[in-house]
Amino acid sequence: MVAEIDNKIVGHILFFPIKIISQENEYETLSLAPMSVLPNYQKMGIGSKLIEYGIKAAKKAGYGSIIVVGHPDYYPRFGFAPASTFGIKLPFEVPDNAFMALELLPNSLKGKQGTVKYPKEYNDDD
Ligand SMILES: CC(C)(COP(=O)(O)OP(=O)(O)OC[C@H]1O[C@@H](n2cnc3c(N)ncnc32)[C@H](O)[C@@H]1OP(=O)(O)O)[C@@H](O)C(=O)NCCC(=O)NCCS
């Protein structure tokens, strides 16, 4: 999704489906990445609007959760909590509070612990 002011794109946000895999389960969630707002338009609430609109769209599309790797001071205001709370891991190292998850429905991440499997485009060697 993009944010426009006077027909100019000033921000964008992408959500893509991704799987959380464990020995017992395979569960599809949404990954929020990347997002950006043009420097001259930052701190005006555009990023927040993109996230809030994205959360509504994700719910409407039937998703139960969203994960994000990002600024630990930014995403919690939208309800994101450390993904470790839900037993969800990444296949690479990041500080615990920089990998977050949001339940779009109560307890939607209950029992969904596992490791995120990124699409092959994320591999350095491809
Ligand atoms: C992060 C970003 C998308 C926020 O967009 P925005 O339109 O400025 O966001 P909003 O106006 O809704 O919110 C501004 C708030 O975000 C906070 N914020 C912005 N960048 C931040 C960062 N790197 N770490 C923590 N907080 C940040 C601001 O301090 C501000 O906080 P306040 O409301 O308490 O003053 C924007 O700063 C950006 O494009 N940054 C560069 C790209 C980037 O870092 N993308 C995110 C990757 S995880």
Q: Is 3 in the pocket of ligand 1 (CB under 6 A)?
A: no
Least Cα distance to 100 among 65, 126, 124, 125 occurs for 65
pLDDT at 87 over 60: yes
How large is the C-alpha radius of gyration of the chain? 15
Which pLDDT value is given to residue 83? 98
User: Does 47 sit in the ligand 1 pocket, CB within 6 Å?
Assistant: yes
- pLDDT score, position 126: 56
3-29 confidence digits (pLDDT tens) = 999 999 999 999 999 999 999 889 999
- Tokens standing for residue 60: 């409407």
Q: Average pLDDT in the 93-102 region? A: 97
User: In the chain, what are the domain boundaries?
Assistant: 2-120
Pairing status of strand 8-21 against strand 65-69: unpaired
Percent of the chain surpassing pLDDT 70:
98
Q: What is the DSSP secondary structure assignment for residue 119, as one 8-state letter?
A: -
Tell me what percent of the residues of the chain surpass a pLDDT of 90.
92
Q: Is the CB of 53 under 6 A from ligand 1?
A: no
HSE of 55 in the Cβ direction (CA atoms, 13 Å)?
A: 17
Residue 67 has pLDDT above 70, yes or no: yes
Report CA-CA distances (Å) from 18 to 21, 27, 30, 44, 48.
Answer: 10, 8, 6, 30, 23
Predicted TM-score of the model (pTM): 0.93
Question: Which CATH number fits the domain 2-120, given the four candidates 1.10.10.10, 3.40.50.2300, 3.40.630.30, 3.40.50.720?
Answer: 3.40.630.30
